[in-house]
Amino acid sequence: MMSFVVDTLLSLLCVLGGLYVVRRAGGVRGMGGRLGVAVLALGVLMNPFSVAYATHSLWFHSLLLVIVSLWLILVVLSKEVIRGIDRIRDRGRWAVVGLRWVWGLVALQDVLLWVGFQDGFEHAATSDPLLLALLTYVEVFVTGVVVYLLSGDGRPQVTHVRQVIIAWSSAMVTMALGVSLGLSGPWFGFVSASAAALHQEAEQQIAAVIFVILGGAPWFLIGTQKMRLWLESEERESVVSFVSPVHRFGRSVKVNQVRRGRVEGR
């Protein structure tokens, strides 16, 4: 009962916080307003009934996690991810701090993802759904910050190449969890009954598809977009480095001619 009440309060807090952010931002057109919508949607999706069902359903747990931690933030930041020209360091002091610790955040999100599907945690979460809710909220925050730091130009701290590595390595970790669930036997040892074990294996196959396709796709999309921006920037820089010396040389010749003409005129 206490867990249900706390889950309800957390969900309501996200809904009210999202509405406040949208109102403070003056609508949903700007980034702040869209992030507020994401927080509001998080509160709606993480209602106590969804959390309670996720503790007893492996596929629903996987689907809920992928939606709230990846697709939700990717949808609201799709404009920034596609453009990729906004300077992350221009977004404020906390964005600069995030760029400094981005590798630690990536490692933390990967660890949290695997911890949430370990035998001991799932056994404890079955008895107390609040544990699953708290871990999911933390995962959403960490993964959301990582996607936020990949939604723009992170140079000089995080170059396009590093952004590609972050996105594609995150995709591989997510897909590795799905492959492990799909190819292994009953994942959780505390499910002892044969009928329950067979049901668990069926849910594992569904969860594997969710992680491999729905979990890996957002990271691959981000990584591909960053790869495109990286190649375009390399092309521009190579052209500039090739053309700039010609301009400098031409300008220096023109200046020397002007100076020579002044000297001869004297």
> Could you write out the DSSP letters of every residue in 38-94?
HHHHHHHHT-HHHHHHHTT-HHHHHHHHHIIIIIHHHHHTHHHHHH--SBGGGG-HH
Q: Tokens at residue 244, please?
A: 């700039």
Q: Report which DSSP code applies to 99.
A: H
Helix axes 160-183, 194-209, angle to 10 degrees: 150
Domain residue ranges of the chain, discontinuous segments joined by + = 58-239
Measured between alpha carbons, how far is residue 88 from residues 145, 152, 153, 248 in Å? 12, 6, 6, 32
**pLDDT tens-digit map of 203-233:** 888 999 999 999 999 999 999 988 888 887 7
How is residue 91 written in tokens? 């977004």
User: Across-strand partners of 153?
Assistant: 87
69, 139 in Cβ contact below 8 A? yes
Give the per-residue pLDDT at 55. 87
Lowest mean pLDDT among 48-52, 77-81, 190-194, 214-218: 190-194
Q: Give the burial class of 11: count Cβ atoms within 10 A of its Cβ; 0-12 exposed, 13-18 middle, 19 or more buried.
A: buried
Spatial contact of 225 and 81, defined as CB atoms under 8 Å apart:
yes
DSSP type of residue 29? S
Give 254's pLDDT tier (boundaries 50, 70, 90).
very low
Rounded Cα–Cα distance for residues 223 and 226 (Å): 5
Does position 79 have pLDDT exceeding 80, yes or no? yes
* Percent above pLDDT 90 for the chain: 42
Q: Are 84 and 155 in contact (CB under 8 A)?
A: no
Strand, helix or coil for residue 175: helix
Share above pLDDT 70 across residues of the chain, in percent, rounded to a whole number: 83
Q: Which of 210, 221, 211, 220 is nearest to 78 (CA)?
A: 221
Looking at 7-21, 58-72, 115-129, 178-192, which range is the least confident one?
Answer: 178-192
**Region 36-65: what's the mean pLDDT?**
91
How confident is the model over 165-190, as pLDDT tens digits? Answer: 999 999 999 999 999 988 877 777 65
Mean pLDDT of 72-76: 91
Looking at the predicted structure, is the pLDDT value of residue 237 above 70?
A: no
Q: Is the pLDDT of residue 234 over 80?
A: no
Amino acid at 177: L
85 band by pLDDT with thresholds 50, 70 and 90: confident
SS3 153: strand
Output the pLDDT for position 256.
Answer: 46
Average per-residue pLDDT for the chain:
82
- 197 compared with 71, residue with greater pLDDT: 71
